[in-house]
Structure 1
């Protein structure tokens, strides 16, 4: 099974739809946004709600990139532990980011409710599961550090975790009641739909080819047309396409693949993740698992399903399903897909000033929904007001990463090796 053979579940099940034509005329706007993922769509929505004119240019379709291929966990915070964030950013900046992203699910679910986005929003928390007894050491550290910053985390022992997950293969879990799950493509489309309703102009099939600074405004070239904008946000993340005139985001591309079963029988649904939490584990090569509204089991792991190791990743998924949930081990996988993650070397997102009144935000390292919504919303506010102090991070003038292609190949090779031997 490869991603191209069976396709993206989120595209098949999204109840949100958006049809936007390509840019076909010259425009003059307050804010131009490049990229129609979580960050770009949230920025367009915030700008339009504030009364600004905004044009969003998406090279393919809204949510085509990582936002529409996401696991769908609306997490609070980053993948890093709080103490690691403080070590990277310093006390003040670190605490500010921890607090801001700790409240990210409030922003996400608040927008969903306000804009009536139909995206299977389920705010019943997430479970970070210990894949082995040794994984509890990591969870205990996260529990102590998170609660020290006010996070209402709960540490579950093996018996309670196994009951909540419906699997004897977890050895404890860290429960975060702030978080939850969404249908990620539907959420992204819903953001864009709400932005359009608020007055934003959204264009699909509109790849930007050039950005230039002209006087006190930006000129964005797309489809042979020009968009003149007072401010510019580049929100292309891991799906950035080459364009002239702007520093590209620097990150290591990491693939993450997912497999979705047929809907589980009622008896299994009553025992497996019956409360609807989203899960991921403490393994070195992380796995995720969750259910959707129809009762499908969605299992994910690092790896490019369309690459040379696609068959190995698919074999691992079948074994992993059997290991976690023996009673549904033979359910067929009806969908398989993968996407790219933009991973920074320190696993902290970046906001880069690419010019006057122009920002680029990227590098969520697998945490796109909450941070992407926060960063996009805040970037729109900052660019339109000219006050950058409200951004979740102090913007930098430039950001470089070395050997990104080699690192990406290393991660893929490692995931393939681990999956070849794993869950046996």
Structure 2
């Protein structure tokens, strides 16, 4: 089922991000044979973070990217910097156990702060908004989970609180929601610009970055691992594969451990100054508790950016723009009829349990995969953690356990199975919303 693997995207990076980001770093193709202590495959959040944190500790690093830096899911992400995993805190504690689960929850809670610190220390211009994240109850069924989360984090003195109907109207600019929570630790950024900033910071501390350098083989060799590309090779003592949804057959079984699913996004035309002032006036990003995509944020240039539903598989599957437009008008009636200027999609690497996985592929070969839509903060944390694993060994403070590499058994049937599940989610969301969408 090789056609199921999205080695490339059918469209360029979003101009919405590219025109707001600085010029991308120059990353020439690898030419000739080089030696490094660590070779990293993949120029997304986790790979760039690992490279930066390793080099800051004096390690020689070569990073190889098949295309350009952040041209996969990283440069197409929605941009929210979230202090959570895909699942809630009770699920984490049950899944990982109390000790490991608590360690993961606490680390994720600090995830946005780690991102903000990197942005500040390295002067990364990425339109960062640190005013928090609003999570609204799409229906009565969503309220309990929000209240439980607020109770969990307020007990830990986190800046998290419930919002009543009046506060929702003021902070969101809509009467649609009567209950929500705000987590002031989070925020949102231009993810492409953030990745470029990580890359420049990595270059400044000595990382050699190479684009257009797809790794065609990794083989054990005396002294470590030989990674070959069409233009040269890298001999490294250790290797880390951070290919995400774009994993191929480079390491046996790696691509079979995730299911690539498309995420869709839309951006409106610029709003008038009056409209901008009435929609999420505090600069927060909004998500609600429905099961499928619901993110909304206002970009610095006054356009509304939405994460929306669409076909989960196939390179040309449609984005459900009409559904998104109806939701936008119901949420913000003052917006009237407004067109979308740009749409794009990106592949999300989903694991069976919807948690990222850290795999020890061999004695000195590792992989980070399966960010499952939580790439910015989680990927940054896992890259930093990988640097510690490689350098500190058993002394490393880890947030994720090392898991064996296993294929997803139902993967050959993923498209119909996941497609059916998504259709069921749409029906349930629509029923709970009273058919309003």
The answer to whether the superposition gives a TM-score over 0.5 is yes
1:244 positional shift: 4.8
- Confirm whether residue 348 of structure 1 aligns to residue 355 of structure 2: yes
- Aligned residue for 1:60? 67
- Confirm whether residue 112 of structure 1 aligns to residue 119 of structure 2: yes
- Confirm whether residue 182 of structure 1 aligns to residue 225 of structure 2: no
Task: Tell me whether 165-174 or 394-403 shows the greater mean CA deviation.
Answer: 394-403
Structure 2 unaligned runs (5+)? 1-9
Pairs within 5 Å for 1:140-155: 140-155=147-162
- Aligned residue for 1:226? 233
2:366 to 359, 371, 380: 359
- Aligned residue for 1:330? 337
2:300 to 293, 303, 306: 293
Task: Tell me whether 349-358 or 318-327 shows the greater mean CA deviation.
Answer: 318-327
Contact between 2:309 and 2:319, CA under 8 Å: does it hold in 1? no
Tell me, in whole angstroms, the C-alpha distance in 2 between the residues paired with 1:154 and 1:121: 22
1:152 positional shift: 2.8
Q: Per the alignment, in what secondary structure is the counterpart of residue 390 of structure 1?
A: coil
1:112-168 residue CA offsets vs partner (Å, 9 max, x unmatched)? 011101100111000111112332122112222333455331111122112211122
| TM-score, normalised relative to structure 2 | 0.90
Contact between 1:287 and 1:301, CA under 8 Å: does it hold in 2? yes
1:136 to 124, 143, 164: 143
Task: Tell me whether 153-162 or 181-190 shows the greater mean CA deviation.
Answer: 153-162
Tell me, in whole angstroms, the C-alpha distance in 2 between the residues paired with 1:5 and 1:53: 32
Tell me, in whole angstroms, the C-alpha distance in 1 between the residues paired with 2:421 and 2:157: 36
Contact between 1:303 and 1:415, CA under 8 Å: does it hold in 2? no
Contact between 2:257 and 2:405, CA under 8 Å: does it hold in 1? no
Q: Per the alignment, in what secondary structure is the counterpart of residue 140 of structure 2?
A: coil
Pairs within 5 Å for 1:155-304: 155-244=162-251, 247-248=254-255, 250-304=257-311
1:181-224 residue CA offsets vs partner (Å, 9 max, x unmatched)? 11001001111111111110000111111111113411111124
Task: Tell me whether 273-282 or 236-245 shows the greater mean CA deviation.
Answer: 236-245
1:313 to 305, 308, 320: 320
1:245 positional shift: 5.7
Tell me, in whole angstroms, the C-alpha distance in 2 between the residues paired with 1:134 and 1:345: 25
Tell me, in whole angstroms, the C-alpha distance in 1 between the residues paired with 2:157 and 2:86: 17
Q: Per the alignment, in what secondary structure is the counterpart of residue 13 of structure 1?
A: coil
- Confirm whether residue 100 of structure 1 aligns to residue 78 of structure 2: no
Contact between 2:13 and 2:71, CA under 8 Å: does it hold in 1? no
Task: Tell me whether 339-348 or 26-35 shows the greater mean CA deviation.
Answer: 339-348
1:404 positional shift: 2.7
2:76 to 53, 56, 69: 69
1:35 to 42, 47, 67: 42
1:70 positional shift: 0.5
1:6 positional shift: 10
Tell me, in whole angstroms, the C-alpha distance in 2 between the residues paired with 1:389 and 1:395: 12
Structural RMSD (CA): 2.5
> What is the total number of aligned residue pairs between the two structures?
423
1:325 positional shift: 1.5
